[in-house]
A and B are shown apart, each in its own frame.
Chain A
Amino acid sequence: MQRIGVFVCHCGTNIAATVDVKAVAEALGHEAGVVISQDYQYMCSESGQNLVKNAIKEHKLTGVVVCSCSPRMHENTFRKAAASAGLNPYLVEIANIREQCSWIHKDIASATEKAIILGRAAIAKVHLNTPLTSMESPVVKRALVIGGGIAGIQTALDIAEAGFEVDIVEKEPTIGGKMAQIDKTFPTLDCAACILTPKMVEASQNEKITIHSFSEVSDVKGFVGNFTVTIKKKARYVDETKCTGCGLCTEKCPMKKVPNEFNMGLDNRRAVYIPFAQAVPKVATIDPNYCMMLKNGKCGVCSKVCSAGAIDYKQTDRFVEQKYGAIVVATGFNPIKLDKYDEFAYSYCPDVVTSLELERLMNAAGPNGGTLLRPSDKTHPHTIVFVQCVGSRCDDGKGKQYCSKICCMYTAKHAMLIREKYPDTEVYVFYIDVRTPGKNFDEFYRRAVEQYNVHYIKGMVGKVSPKADGKIDVQASDLLAGEQLHINADMVVLAAAIEPDKTARPLATMLTTQMDTNDFFTEAHPKLRPVESATAGIFLSGACQGPKDIPETVAQASAAAAKAIGLLCKNSITCNPCVAHSDELMCNGCSACEKVCPYGAITYQDKEFRMPNRTTAVRRVASVNPAVCQGCGACTVACPSGAMDLNGFSNSQIMAEVDAICK
């Protein structure tokens, strides 16, 4: 027989002003199974909680119903109170008679009647509550960082600093990411490599950090605190442990015409290459698409010149399996492809470049050794036109609807650097708006306009047409002057929108994390949980979550590290006990629940069951991993045999509430 205690809160006058609390306590006292029904001024106060605790002990209660404010407010308070009095916390139910009753209704009679019905529904539910215990699940004290750009490096360094092992998985042959390609950074104009490469070296030398370069995540299993990840180490045909990074092979390789991706294809590299001088790890990689030895077995020069004997043409992809407690995603961004923007002549005119290409053209380690020359004829450009928002803030479906955030600032930087180095070059910037929120950002932009006389023109470029004399005609409108312009330019620079890396979506599927329609990872809460994903144990760092500049990326990287450290510090984590469970005797193994589970928490096992006449039979039945299940209940509805049920919100509990309300 159930012994239920009902506690009705006045909440000062918040409830008592519109609900006759005495009448509610009186009416609920007559419900079946209720042995005590009390009202009190403030049930959540110390003395109110003591009232509950004493009643639990005195009346040996098997269930508690508190008629008070929303369970979102004080459910935990009363659960803790019950637990301290020796009652399982999940035997407490809250009837929300403040937010959903007294604050809504003005008429005392109808509000009181509703409060009684809500109380009855809670009593009906608590009759069927079962004691639940939270499971403890151990935490593997190792973190995985996916992506080795500045976000990934910063996160890894911070986690390693706290004393935990970290692995970085980077798909390129070197860590460094986009920041390594950038020439200078705004608004201070530091050299990007000068501030990035020491961090890359620090990461490689930190004994807590393992870098898996030229590798990809190929499979993720498990759950928070206990992920099992398979890392695919792609064949680089060079033994990482033997290669000293001397670079002799990259000088002797006869295959010279391979577009250099690090310089955005503006110059060539060899088939065996080290992406750039400060690469980490500084190990050569053979490109199998161009290597003659790998393609037709004729050459082998690199193997002959390598004194370390590191070249291994027979290397194959290797798979490494490792356990992690936390995963940080830092997959970063790429500029969009501009094939849909033929009006800017990007595909056929070499002097129309993207901003990232301009970074390489201006970089001292770039194709021209730091002298800005036109890619077509290597002459010095005298007029340069910058086009903003190419693919950003587009409503036409060709580009992205969002603002790429960083373009206004890097264009101001480019314009300023060009005017500084080549004062005879005229620079025009066509913009929709100039957006410069950020510390010292607007001052920086004002300097470009006022001190460096960069011509900022509000308006969009309509057409870019290369002319026979090598010049480029830029047709644009000046919205403020209300006139059409033709600019005879030598170079055009397009501020291409940025988009998440292509590897992000398959990765999100593996990690069962959410993404928005633009393939940016979705944070658990846009304001209050910006670095966690909705999936427990997965954290977000950098531009994979949304467009960001370097300071914001680093800030988010450290925040993600702090969250990951917070998880790794724990020896075990408490799981929510309100999870699904399957009645093995009723389950027919149809897989309907497995298909709807968004977390992959349901697996099937063959189990032996006793059958009539002392026989046994093996049947396939569903089993729920309580550490993975988040308790949404999708499976309970999908289950045709009614075997699947949800702790805390079981079919019978909800039915009982429905019955109590409709009675």
Chain B
Amino acid sequence: MQVNENFKPVIVAFCCNWCSYAGADLSGTNRLNYPANVKIIRVPCSCRVNPMFILRAFQKGADGVIICGCHPGDCHYTSGNYFTRRRITLLYSMLDFLGIERKRTRLEWVSAAEGAKFASVMEQFVSDVQKLGPNRRLEDLRCRKQ
């Protein structure tokens, strides 16, 4: 497949306040590099991420959405990330139905101590989405930049 080097995917990352957002901060503190396409939205827990937000992002022109939460068993709210895991599994079957590549949505567990993991996960995710090319399937053309 031809990879368009000039294509700069728009990536939305949802990070839980307790683990992954702190992990993202840590990768900054350690000056670890990852692509600037990733924009982080802070949520209290990964279970706050309504699948609707993910669909909205795709509709508005995002090329990839990544949700980061605490590792299973480490959720600050006891069980929030288990809900997320199930909801994302269900969302995958819906995205399959809509014809959106699974690789555009990703769920990752990043702890507050895993700054390096956060950077490498973002690097990997951006390159995966880069290979897929722009998201055209769900994008609302009325929202497209003029």
A: residues with CB less than 8 A from B are 70-72, 96, 98-101, 103-107, 110-111, 113-114, 117-118, 121, 512, 514, 516-517, 534, 578, 596, 598, 630-634, 636-638, 646, 649, 651, 654-655, 657-659, 661-663
Residue B102 is within 8 A (CB to CB) of chain A in the complex: no
Residue B107 is within 8 A (CB to CB) of chain A in the complex: no
Residue B89 is within 8 A (CB to CB) of chain A in the complex: no
Please tell me which one of the listed residues A512, A598, A649 contacts residue B44 in the complex, with CB atoms under 8 A apart.
A649
State in angstroms the CA–CA spacing of A637 and B45 once bound together.
11
B44 touching A658 by the CB < 8 A rule?
Answer: no
- Residues from chain A with a CB closer than 8 A to the CB of B33 are 104-106
State in angstroms the CA–CA spacing of A659 and B10 once bound together.
12
Interface size on B, residues (CB 8 A): 45
- Residues from chain B with a CB closer than 8 A to the CB of A596 are 47, 83
With most chain B CB atoms within 10 A of its CB, the pick from A70, A104, A110, A512 is: A104
A658 touching B57 by the CB < 8 A rule?
Answer: yes
Q: Which 8 A-B pairs have the closest CB atoms?
A: A633-B48, A99-B28, A632-B77, A662-B60, A103-B28, A99-B25, A110-B36, A632-B45
State which residues 38-90 of B face A: CB under 8 Å: 39-45, 47-53, 56-57, 60-62, 73, 76-80, 83, 87
- Minimum C-beta distance from B136 to chain A (A): 14
Residue B31 is within 8 A (CB to CB) of chain A in the complex: yes
- Minimum C-beta distance from A412 to chain B (A): 35
Residue B129 is within 8 A (CB to CB) of chain A in the complex: no
A658 touching B78 by the CB < 8 A rule?
Answer: no
Residue B27 is within 8 A (CB to CB) of chain A in the complex: yes
Residue B24 is within 8 A (CB to CB) of chain A in the complex: yes
State in angstroms the CA–CA spacing of A516 and B78 once bound together.
11
State in angstroms the CA–CA spacing of A106 and B34 once bound together.
10
A655 touching B53 by the CB < 8 A rule?
Answer: yes
State in angstroms the CA–CA spacing of A651 and B27 once bound together.
28
Known: A104-B36, A637-B47. 12 other contacts (CB 8 A): A96-B42, A100-B24, A106-B33, A121-B39, A516-B73, A596-B47, A631-B44, A634-B47, A634-B80, A637-B50, A646-B48, A661-B41
- Residues from chain B with a CB closer than 8 A to the CB of A118 are 39
Report 22 cross-chain contacts, Cβ distance below 8 Å, ordered by A residue: A70-B25, A71-B42, A72-B25, A99-B25, A100-B24, A100-B40, A101-B36, A104-B34, A104-B119, A111-B36, A113-B36, A118-B39, A514-B78, A633-B43, A634-B47, A634-B80, A634-B83, A637-B48, A638-B83, A654-B50, A658-B57, A661-B62
- Answer whether A99 and B29 are a contact pair too, CB < 8 Å, given A104-B36, A655-B56, A658-B53: yes
- Minimum C-beta distance from B137 to chain A (A): 15
A104 touching B32 by the CB < 8 A rule?
Answer: yes
- Residues from chain B with a CB closer than 8 A to the CB of A631 are 44
Chain B 117-139 near chain A by CB (<8 Å), digits 1 or 0: 00100000000000000000000
A658 touching B48 by the CB < 8 A rule?
Answer: no
B47 touching A658 by the CB < 8 A rule?
Answer: no
- Minimum C-beta distance from A517 to chain B (A): 8
B12 touching A661 by the CB < 8 A rule?
Answer: yes
- Minimum C-beta distance from B107 to chain A (A): 14
State in angstroms the CA–CA spacing of A649 and B41 once bound together.
10
- Residues from chain B with a CB closer than 8 A to the CB of A662 are 10, 12, 57, 60-62, 143
B22 touching A72 by the CB < 8 A rule?
Answer: yes
Residue B109 is within 8 A (CB to CB) of chain A in the complex: no
State in angstroms the CA–CA spacing of A634 and B81 once bound together.
9
- Residues from chain A with a CB closer than 8 A to the CB of B21 are 70, 72
- Answer whether A636 and B39 are a contact pair too, CB < 8 Å, given A99-B29, A662-B57: no
With most chain B CB atoms within 10 A of its CB, the pick from A96, A111, A662 is: A662
Please tell me which one of the listed residues B29, B32, B48, B57 contacts residue A649 in the complex, with CB atoms under 8 A apart.
B48
- Minimum C-beta distance from B37 to chain A (A): 8
- Answer whether A104 and B27 are a contact pair too, CB < 8 Å, given A633-B43, A654-B43, A659-B56: yes
- Minimum C-beta distance from A515 to chain B (A): 10
- Minimum C-beta distance from B138 to chain A (A): 12
- Minimum C-beta distance from A558 to chain B (A): 27
State which residues 11-30 of B face A: CB under 8 Å: 12, 21-22, 24-29
Please tell me which one of the listed residues A512, A632, A655, A657 contacts residue B80 in the complex, with CB atoms under 8 A apart.
A632
Residue of B nearest to A638 (CB): B83
B62 touching A637 by the CB < 8 A rule?
Answer: no
Please tell me which one of the listed residues B47, B60, B83 contacts residue A663 in the complex, with CB atoms under 8 A apart.
B60
- Residues from chain B with a CB closer than 8 A to the CB of A106 are 33
Residue of A nearest to B34 (CB): A104
Please tell me which one of the listed residues A103, A514, A659 contacts residue B60 in the complex, with CB atoms under 8 A apart.
A659
